[in-house]
Homo-oligomer: A and B are copies of this chain.
Amino acid sequence: MTEAIDKIGVMNIPQLRRSFKEQMHQAREEAIVTAASRLMGKKGFEAMTVEDVACAVGIAKASLYKHFAGKDELCAAAMVQVVDRTGRFLRELPASLPPLERLRALLRWLLELQLTDEMPLMLSRNSGLAGPLKACEAYQAALRDLHGLVIGWIEQAQQAGQINPALPSDVVMCAIFARAADPMLRLLRDRGTYSDAQIVDWAVDSCLSGLAARA
């Protein structure tokens, strides 16, 4: 009996422990990326420091470098995460939702990401992360994936006469994705007169109306 247990132990525990360690490792990495994402959303890529992230997670700066080669890689991982989350959100939309409503849902998602100070999907102009991100294959692939999805909906909405068919579909796509870093939200919020919900409504509405088919 004890032999049997020992055997199980010998056979399995090392594997279990290894798996456990890996889970811990991955959990820690996720915590780091999430913290980086939040800080980047609040302060921007340049202003956020690696130390900030380490503090937020509760580890030492040097430990962080065991997980990520540097600030660029860490932030690129954060960008990949937000693109992936967006992709998941889009794929979970009810199958019954018509293309135009999918686009509206995407717009709202992008704007809310920005307003809640999370990592916006789009880098703002002149971000120092733009270069490293161009070289990050994981990011580029995730983005291409999103683009394919969205372009499809746009073309359907154009065929349905809801989106201006005179606009190339990639122009429409850029117009929508650009809202993720639209300064309008901050401008309006800083006025202090309107609620966040109201601001998002206006932004969604004016964007889609601008792309709608004309009479």
Question: Which residues of chain A have a CB within 8 Å of any CB of chain B?
Answer: 43-44, 46-47, 114, 120, 122-128, 167-168, 170-171, 174-175, 177-178, 180-184, 186-188, 191, 193-194, 202, 205-212, 214-215
Contacts and interface: CB of A to CB of B under 8 A. Distances in A.
Given A182-B182, A209-B212, 19 more contacts: A44-B128, A122-B187, A123-B183, A124-B124, A124-B125, A167-B202, A167-B206, A171-B194, A174-B184, A177-B187, A178-B187, A180-B183, A206-B210, A206-B211, A207-B210, A209-B209, A209-B210, A209-B214, A210-B211
Contact of A184 (B43, B128, B178, B186): B178
A62 to B, nearest CB: 25
Contacts of A180: 183
A-B pairs, top 8 by smallest CB distance, nearest first, are A210-B210, A44-B126, A178-B184, A206-B210, A124-B124, A174-B187, A46-B46, A178-B183
Contacts of A114: 125
16 contacts: A44-B126, A44-B127, A46-B46, A46-B47, A47-B128, A122-B187, A124-B125, A124-B126, A124-B183, A170-B191, A174-B188, A178-B187, A180-B183, A205-B210, A210-B211, A215-B215
B128 A46 contact: yes
Nearest to A207: B210
Counting chain B CB atoms within 10 Å of each CB, the highest count among A114, A125, A186, A210 belongs to A125
A82 B175 CA distance: 26
A117 to B, nearest CB: 10
A69 B94 CA distance: 58
A48 to B, nearest CB: 9
Contacts of A186: 125
